[in-house]
Amino acid sequence: MIPNAYRTVHCNEVRKSHIGQTVTLCGWVNSARDHGGVIFLDLRDREGLTQVVFRPEENADLAAKSHDLRDEDVLQITGKVAARLAGTENDKLGTGDVEIVATEMKILNKADVLPFQLDRELSNEDLRMKYRYLDLRRERLNRNIRTRHKITNAARNYLDAAGFVEVETPILSNPTPEGARDFLVPARLSPGKFFALPQAPQQYKQLMMVAGLERYFQIARCFRDEDLRADRQPEFTQIDIEASFIQRDDIVTLVEGLLAAMFKAGRGIDVPLPFPRMTYQEAMDRYGSDKPDTRFGIEINDMADVFANSGFKIFKSTLDNGGVVRAINAKGFAGITTGQMIRLNELAIEAGMKVKQLAFIKVERDANGVLEYKSPLWKFFGEEEKAALVQKLGVEENDIVFFYAGEWEDACNILGRVRLEIAHMQQLTKDSTALNFLWVVDFPLLAFDAESNGWVAVHHPFTRPKAEDEHLLGTDQNGKARAEAYDVVLNGYELGGGSIRIHEGDLQSKMFSVLGIGPEEQRHKFGHILDAFRFGAPPHGGLALGLDRIAMLVSGEDSIREVIAFPKNNKACDLMTDSPTNVDFKQLRELYVQSTWKPKVKDEAADAKA
RNA sequence: GGAGCGGUAGUUCAGUCGGUUAGAACGCCAGCCUGUCACGUUGGAGGUCGCGGGUUCGAGCCCCGUCCGCUCCGCCA
């Protein structure tokens, strides 16, 4: 920090070597300890604490004045750096060997009593949000925000060094036909028309490639009007990357280096490279998720070979009809409580389970020391089947095995969710510092949407099919086509994803058609990009990383709110500014906009009947 | 849209089976205190038990509704 008219040192700067010097500091009163005579003050700025001492015998007036200081008053203190009395050093402070004997004090601003104490735990989220600037003054959030700066800076430097050019793209653009809800902005100069805030700079980044920029990046604010979660905000930040003349592995290598640089800058650790890779199919088969948390096992096992001729009819018939029978072994979880069991079944039903209870086998020793297989279905299994099952799943005492028989997709969803919940119940990741990075590759290109009775893009409509699957596009094999798409995952969080794009007009046009966007609509909504592809578009691809989630994981937080200076609550409101807000009729009229919203009125007729 | 958890002093929380005047810690205010650093010490102030209704002789506690917050599902190309 540069000394200036306000101060000569910051509050974590003075050391023994300064003894005898006169210094001036500025900061907040962190605490005042008034002994009637001598008064101690901890002065705090963002760098740390320095103890200031007021002695009546040195300066009686000043000491008298210091009695009135209160926490969080803003002061400027001038004094002489002195060694602390022998035995009173404080080794918890960097400045703990010395203290400032005050000779001058200027109260820059008095502070009212704060609505909460900065040095104690605060669980009231309303208060934290309402007085966000005070919450940010606390050490934890202050550190998070500064860590976020460090990793953002590291990303920028890394990409710059790799030849990437930072370009800003419009915030006011057009709504997207697919994907999340758009935030709309009325266009006053085009009455009746609307802009949308970008969900991502997707089309612009591709047009940058057509423009010959070759390597683009942007720390881009993105907006999606969907419901919030601990790791989702309506406005969030992506590190958006696109490059020309590259293939998947080029992007993968680049991004591995980028993430390593960010974790190095933010947490000082060396992330081992390269990250493991897994196909989408494998991720779903083993973990029941396209963003597997690999910090623990409880993997999903396919039991088709074990139960091909099972004595348990439901398993056998499911297999005979093309379904799957899968199982997970929760090691050491035979002590599961009734409540936990109920919770797991609720979760499984929510995830699509057609029956009321997960089939299970619990292995415990009875009073006589005999190993018991407690299960509603154990009795249906033949001896060979039992042996094969125990062998395949490595079943031991105190294990509990859960089964699901049905369609592949349901089995993945249900067992995937149950797996995560068991890990949560067993607290398997509680004190873990593991950083399990992972690439998930070869996503399906398309998914069938029952609601619209059509195909939708799994990633987005500009994603390139894998060359060997391109012929499937537009046939009855649409669902089998895989995409040149990849996600980077950390500890069960999707950090980012991307793809190699379509750069040919005819293929892009075909893709739109498969998605049910006809020639007319294509021209209207995507004319610019289809045009662009006619004028020499290079092969290109890219990826976007969620900066908020990365900052959260670097900081060891559970919510991205802890790494965003001014976040929204789970109704997308800002309790500090009380945003969003009503606007005057006049303002709306200028925009040619009228609200159709009506406040809920209580139905008195219905009440009377009741 | 749905589910779960929570809401008691400024803050963090306790509050038994529905029963006398709703407690503690920290903070706050005032006094004392010349080596503290979570200073100590004496005293004091501070409550719409989120809000509304109901049951009851009596509700912080039970019931219904509602608001707010958090988490999750749906949703998030």
Least confident span in A53-57, A340-344, A543-547, A592-596: A340-344
Tell me the pTM.
0.93
pLDDT digits (tens, 9 = 90+) for A245-295: 999 999 999 999 999 999 999 999 999 999 999 999 999 999 999 999 999
- Hey, is A518 helix, strand or coil? coil
Share of chain A above pLDDT 90, in %: 74
Mean pLDDT over residues A36-52, rounded? 94
Q: Is the pLDDT of residue A129 over 90?
A: yes
Q: Is the pLDDT of residue A45 over 50?
A: yes
In angstroms, the CA of A392 and the C1' of B46 are apart by: 66
Predicted local confidence at residue A58, as pLDDT: 87
Sign of torsion, CA A105 A106 A112 A115? negative
Cβ neighbours for A202, distance < 8 A, ≥ 6 positions apart: A176, A460, A462
Predicted local confidence at residue A32, as pLDDT: 94
Predicted local confidence at residue A2, as pLDDT: 75
Predicted local confidence at residue A142, as pLDDT: 94
Helix-then-strand count for chain A, H and E: 17, 22
In angstroms, the CA of A258 and the C1' of B53 are apart by: 59
Predicted local confidence at residue A605, as pLDDT: 39
User: Which residue is nearest nucleotide B37, judged by alpha carbon to C1' distance?
Assistant: A90
Predicted local confidence at residue A419, as pLDDT: 94
Predicted local confidence at residue A370, as pLDDT: 87
Q: How many Cβ atoms from other residues are within 10 Å of residue A227's Cβ?
A: 11
How far is Cα A333 from Cα A348, in angstroms, rounded to an integer?
Answer: 17
In angstroms, the CA of A89 and the C1' of B35 are apart by: 10
In angstroms, the CA of A134 and the C1' of B53 are apart by: 38
Predicted local confidence at residue A262, as pLDDT: 97
Q: Is the pLDDT of residue A178 over 80?
A: no
In sequence order, what E strands does A22-73 have? Answer: 22-34, 39-45, 48-54
Q: Nearest nucleotide (C1') to the CA of residue A179?
A: B77
How far is Cα A246 from Cα A209, in angstroms, rounded to an integer?
Answer: 11
Q: Nearest nucleotide (C1') to the CA of residue A89?
A: B37
Share of chain A above pLDDT 70, in %: 98
Mean pLDDT over residues A226-239, rounded? 95
ipTM of the prediction: 0.92
In angstroms, the CA of A71 and the C1' of B27 are apart by: 11
Q: Is the pLDDT of residue A182 over 70?
A: yes
How far is Cα A16 from Cα A33, in angstroms, rounded to an integer?
Answer: 23
Could you say which nucleotides of strand B lie within 7 A of any protein CB atom?
A: 1, 10-13, 26-29, 32-40, 67-77
Least confident span in A7-16, A116-125, A222-231: A116-125
Contact by Cβ (8 Å): A173, A182: no
Q: Is the pLDDT of residue A604 over 60?
A: no
Q: Nearest nucleotide (C1') to the CA of residue A178?
A: B77
In angstroms, the CA of A41 and the C1' of B33 are apart by: 16
- A552 pLDDT band, cuts 50/70/90, is very high
pLDDT digits (tens, 9 = 90+) for A441-489: 999 999 888 777 888 899 999 999 999 999 998 888 888 999 999 999 9
Predicted local confidence at residue A607, as pLDDT: 40
Mean pLDDT over residues A227-242, rounded? 96
How far is Cα A247 from Cα A594, in angstroms, rounded to an integer?
Answer: 49
Sorted by where each starts, the structural domains of chain A and their CATH numbers stand as 11-109 (2.40.50.140), 141-278+438-563 (3.30.930.10), 296-430 (3.30.1360.30)
In angstroms, the CA of A201 and the C1' of B11 are apart by: 44
How far is Cα A339 from Cα A357, in angstroms, rounded to an integer?
Answer: 13
Amino acid at A516: G
Q: Is the pLDDT of residue A97 over 90?
A: yes
In angstroms, the CA of A487 and the C1' of B29 are apart by: 58
Predicted local confidence at residue A601, as pLDDT: 56
How far is Cα A610 from Cα A594, in angstroms, rounded to an integer?
Answer: 36
Contact by Cβ (8 Å): A521, A488: no
Mean pLDDT over residues A528-538, rounded? 93
At A130, phi and psi to the nearest 5?
Answer: -65, -40
Q: Is the pLDDT of residue A519 over 80?
A: yes
Q: Nearest nucleotide (C1') to the CA of residue A227?
A: B75
Predicted local confidence at residue A52, as pLDDT: 96
Contact by Cβ (8 Å): A68, A44: no
Q: Nearest nucleotide (C1') to the CA of residue A31?
A: B37
Q: Nearest nucleotide (C1') to the CA of residue A60?
A: B34
Cα A500 to the center of its chain, rounded Å:
24
In this structure, what DSSP letter does residue A323 have?
A: -
Cα A501 to the center of its chain, rounded Å:
25
How far is Cα A130 from Cα A259, in angstroms, rounded to an integer?
Answer: 33
